[in-house]
Amino acid sequence: MIEDDFYATLKLKTGEEIFAKIAATEEEDRTMLLVSNPVVVNEIKSRSGVVGYKVEPWLKTTTEDMFILNIADILTMSESSDIEMIMMYQDYVRSSNSDDDNNKQISRRMGRIGNINDAKEILEKLFKKN
């Protein structure tokens, strides 16, 4: 039987800390967690003291979005009711599932488009001026 989904931070015995949507289930005398779109959240501080967050996938080399963890591999779990954290997580999941982001073409609006020879020539001119 699967319990209702909830958002939580998990600290694994390996030391990893992940945030995800979780559902618990009982299977053959073991409690398993169904972990949906697990992410790692890192705090980023700028020189001016502004704090932001960087959200990355827990596992970077897979396209899977659902994982099964044995409750025995969890050191601690904290259910989250932090609206800001949940909204940041949901925005990440939405953007990672969007096909538009994965199919963007490079354009001049994104910045300068050039090649190695052009960059080398510009840098040599700058070096000779100094």
**37-71 pLDDT, tens digit each:** 999 998 888 888 878 888 999 999 988 999 999 99
CATH, residue 98: 2.30.30.100
Q: Is residue 130 part of a domain?
A: no
Residue 34: CB atoms within 10 A of its CB come to 17
pTM: 0.68
Domain coverage including residue 33: 6-103
Does residue 125 lie in a domain region?
Answer: no
Who contacts 22 (Cβ-Cβ below 8 Å, separation ≥6)? 5, 6, 7, 8, 10, 33, 34, 35, 36, 77
